[in-house]
Chains A and B, each alone.
Chain A
Amino acid sequence: MNGIRFTGIASAEELLACPGITSEERFNKGPVAVIECVQEIPCNPCEHACSSGAIIVGQPITRLPVLDGVKCIGCGECLAACPGLAIFLVHKNYTDTTSLVEFPYEYLPLPEEGTAVPCGGRDGAFIADGKVVKIKKTKHSDGTALILVEVPKEFFMDIRTICRKGVSDDRQS
């Protein structure tokens, strides 16, 4: 069966209905948060991490976070604040042919900036090679690194991680 409850991966339908994901139009304007939070669980640190007031959970605390694409400035503070590691930052039109995808990452070793890495989707499977543009820590990080990868534009809504197997294979070779 399809859906996060059965596979551990949010389905296309669940993502489409997700109030944390903004419009196509907003994606074209610049970096914006993508909150892939599709289950009502008691959690709201994202709301408080956002200094622009772009994320609203409200009451009860189990409501899904709603992203206001107009208010979101694409700072990425919410990424490391989310205990579920379910928030990403996407800059669709980074160049004519590439997008920038930023995601939280809690494994060591970290890849090096500037290197090519295999990038994967929500199931960890390889999608395309990307380039590590930056690795950052923010005030909400507390150990969680944020990795920015430049990837082929057609995959901006598919690539959500670097392939760990790829990382360890590189290390071994």
Chain B
Amino acid sequence: MKKTQILIVGAGPAGLCAAIEAARAGAKAFIIDENSKPGGQLFKQIHKFFGSYEHRAGVRGYAIGTDLLRETEELGVEVILNAPVYGLFRHDGGMMVSYMKDGREKAILAEKIILATGAAENALAFPGGTLPGVMGAGCAQTMINVNRVLPGGKIIMIGSGNVGLIVAYQLLQAGAEVSALIEAAPFIGGYGVHASKIRRAGTPIFVSHTIERALGKTRVDAVEIVRLDESFQPVPGARRVIEADTVCLAVGLSPLTELAWMAGCDFTWIPQLGGHIPIHNENMETTIPGLYAAGDITGSEEASTAMEEGRLAGIAAAEALGLTAERAKDIKLEVWARMNALRTGPFGQKRFEAKAQLLESAKGAAR
């Protein structure tokens, strides 16, 4: 059976950064990903990232992805693609991961495992929601930015978080008309500057509005939206029909935690982070010794924080193997300082508090 020191599940921003830090520290690192290409969602991100200039803000997401891949290659990190991981077991004092590759079951033994599995888009149930033309915003983003196919000509975006705002902008860039962006809350969830971009392009944003139904026989022809009152109830008579052929849903993300459940990690429920989250400590280590988590699996945030969490998990796992003990402390302090800075301000404060609550629950968790 194949053996490695550190195994990382997921080759997105968190997984790649974890592998880079682990390999830099001298560990043998190995990444498994179910997709045909590494990079996670990074290669769909054609916009310039926010954050600190010193850490690649102002650089487009796909360019950051390209750099991370080059770095993993230079460090000799092995990446297995097209390989869905389906099992995580304790084995011989270490851990074993089972995965499928080329239609065959395979397994690999690891001393430390880092789960960087990401998150999945939430769905929204409404009449007409199964008509062709209704899709996740991430799906539309994959179509335009990876496959270069326009999902439709007239699009309604549901949800005003940064995903909804950014994908609406990218659909406009790809040549579609975004007829409206609607948001059930009474205010826009994402950054105002992203909202301003689509407003300048002529797309209206309706807050306190939700989708009532998608209309159409064989595919979406129109969408009926309705205004909501303060208690999120439809206002009678405040309905309107907007012509549309595509409905994109950007209504939040849920952490992909199956492997953490399977391993027996203790969980906590933090709605601000997307639901059930595996409890972890300052080293990103879960309640199962040697099993780490990083990125959206520990609560959906941005790629910038996912990369920092990955670095933290990578260096901590290497340190636990007895490598780089001196440098590790400094690197971890630097990473925490950067992450805390990213989690300040009116948009970051709630995530900071939610993450603090998560770390606090680690102290109470049985080891």
Q: Tell whether B350 is near chain A: CB-to-CB under 8 Å.
A: no
The size of the chain A interface, using a CB distance under 8 A, is: 47
Q: Is the CB of B202 within 8 A of A8?
A: no
Q: Is the CB of B191 within 8 A of A124?
A: no
Q: Which residues does chain B contribute within 8 Å of A4, judged by CB atoms? A: 188, 192, 195-196
What are 13 sample pairs from A and B whose C-beta atoms fall under 8 A apart?
A5-B188, A6-B186, A9-B195, A37-B193, A38-B192, A45-B48, A60-B341, A60-B344, A62-B344, A62-B348, A124-B200, A140-B58, A142-B59
Q: Contacts A83-B48, A84-B50, A122-B199 known; A45 to B58 CB distance under 8 Å?
A: yes
Q: Which residues does chain A contribute within 8 Å of B198, judged by CB atoms? A: 8
Q: Tell whether B60 is near chain A: CB-to-CB under 8 Å.
A: yes
Q: Tell whether B146 is near chain A: CB-to-CB under 8 Å.
A: no
Q: Tell whether A39 is near chain B: CB-to-CB under 8 Å.
A: yes
Q: Tell whether A73 is near chain B: CB-to-CB under 8 Å.
A: no
Q: Is the CB of A83 within 8 A of B57?
A: yes
Q: Is the CB of A124 within 8 A of B202?
A: yes
Q: Tell whether B187 is near chain A: CB-to-CB under 8 Å.
A: yes
User: Which residue of A10, A47, A164 has the most chain B CB atoms within 10 A of its CB atom?
Assistant: A164
Q: Is the CB of B196 within 8 A of A83?
A: no
Q: How far is the CA of A36 from the CA of B304 in the complex (A)?
A: 23
The size of the chain B interface, using a CB distance under 8 A, is: 41
Q: Is the CB of A8 within 8 A of B344?
A: no
**Chain A proximity mask over B113-130: 1 for CB below 8 Å, otherwise 0:** 000000000000000000
User: Which residue of B58, B172, B207 has the most chain A CB atoms within 10 A of its CB atom?
Assistant: B58
Q: How far is the CA of A38 from the CA of B193 in the complex (A)?
A: 9
| 9 further A-B pairs in the complex, CB-CB below 8 A; given A7-B199, A47-B53, A142-B60 | A5-B187, A5-B188, A7-B195, A44-B53, A60-B344, A61-B52, A106-B173, A122-B199, A124-B202
In chain A, what residue has the closest Cβ to B162?
A: A41
Q: Is the CB of A85 within 8 A of B193?
A: yes
Q: How far is the CA of A36 from the CA of B194 in the complex (A)?
A: 12
- How many Å from the CB of A19 to the closest CB on chain B? 15
User: Which residue of B48, B57, B188, B192 has the most chain A CB atoms within 10 A of its CB atom?
Assistant: B192
Q: Is the CB of B50 within 8 A of A7?
A: no
Q: Is the CB of A39 within 8 A of B191?
A: yes
In chain B, what residue has the closest Cβ to A105?
A: B200
Q: Is the CB of B195 within 8 A of A8?
A: yes
Q: Is the CB of B197 within 8 A of A39?
A: no
